[in-house]
Structure 1
């Protein structure tokens, strides 16, 4: 299982790189679970990241505005991101989510056929009115995405496991794999929960808080020693 760590600036990106993260995921925590950072931060992070290491960029907890979202996705792509992550926050149904992701995939793949598109849903979708998390693999498949992902929309200390039990998460992973895609799981995941994600076959685990001082995704800072501890659990 590979580790995605989400820095909010270049200084944190260096800590994640030195700690051994596999994917550097540019994020802006004050703007939400999948808050979008600025194009220049993505560009600076790409320039700071070793050539063989992939850079991801979240483009926001997006509304149901396919044109707006597609333009944001293209902006992240041309700024240097290899993974483009879309948080399907404002989409209420399979059809709305598909409408957003089909257009995003077209724009991103037209700009670079090797770019990786991630359709991200929320395990706690019921709290914000977003599309059912178990629909995300079908949305990703039908839109031509590469990765189906789950995160949590509300960052209040509850983790992925507070909203979906291991059996449901396993169902999500297995369906995603059945469609030939990779599966990513995130959502205030604690280091002691990572072995359970490995056990169900998760391909990518995403963290921020667990890699930050005091476990605080907002006030804390990513530290390489914390990243190293997480990498060890992922690779053991």
Structure 2
């Protein structure tokens, strides 16, 4: 498993990198679960990371606006992100998710075929009204995405495990792999979830709050990144 840590600025990126993060994921929690940051912040993080690990950038919890999402994805790619992550927050059906994701993927492929698209769904989709994440592996494969992900849309301390359970998350990982995609799990992941994660075996585990001492609005601490990385990799 690779550890993705989500800093909000270059100072936090330094802490995450020093703690052993495998992917640095630039996001802006003030704008939502997968809130988008600014192009200059992505560039700033890319400079401090300096190619040592890939940089990811979220482009937002998107409504069903395929054109807007495609332009945002291009902005993240031009700013230096290797992984471009789009949250399918406002897509209600698999058909809408496919149309939006198809536009994002075509945009990124035309710009740089080496960059990767991450399609993120929400474990608490029943609360957000978004597409069921179990439909994402098929949708992601049809759109030519690279990674499918589960996160939580409403950050109130409840985790992806609470909404989908270990069995549901394991089924999501298996479905992603069956469709030739990598799989990422996030959504208020805690230290007590590590044993389940090691059984489920996602390709990527995404965290923020747990490496901020449990409060995602606080600051990333390298020692907590180190502890979580050791726990995940065994």
TM-score, normalization by structure 2:
0.98
Q: Which residue of 2 aligns with 1:6?
A: 6
Among 193, 197, 220, the residue aligned to 1:222: 220
Matches within 5 A, 1:151-190: 151-190=151-190
Gaps of 5+ in 1: none
Q: Which residue of 2 aligns with 1:78?
A: 78
May I ask how many residue pairs the two structures share in their alignment? 234
Structure 1 stretches of 4+ with a deviation exceeding 6 A read none
Q: Give me the whole-angstrom Cα distance separating, in 2, the residues matched to 1:201 and 1:226.
A: 21
Q: Give me the whole-angstrom Cα distance separating, in 1, the residues matched to 2:193 and 2:185.
A: 11
Matches within 5 A, 1:190-205: 190-205=190-205
- Root-mean-square deviation (CA, aligned residues, Å) is 0.8
Deviations 1:108-140 (A, max 9, x none): 111111101000000001101100111111111
Shift of 1:77: 0.3
Deviations 1:180-206 (A, max 9, x none): 110000000002202211211211000
Deviations 1:6-49 (A, max 9, x none): 00001000000000100000000011100000000001101110
Deviations 1:143-191 (A, max 9, x none): 0000010000000010111101111111110010011110000000002
Q: Give me the whole-angstrom Cα distance separating, in 1, the residues matched to 2:126 and 2:177.
A: 25
TM-score, normalization by structure 1:
0.98
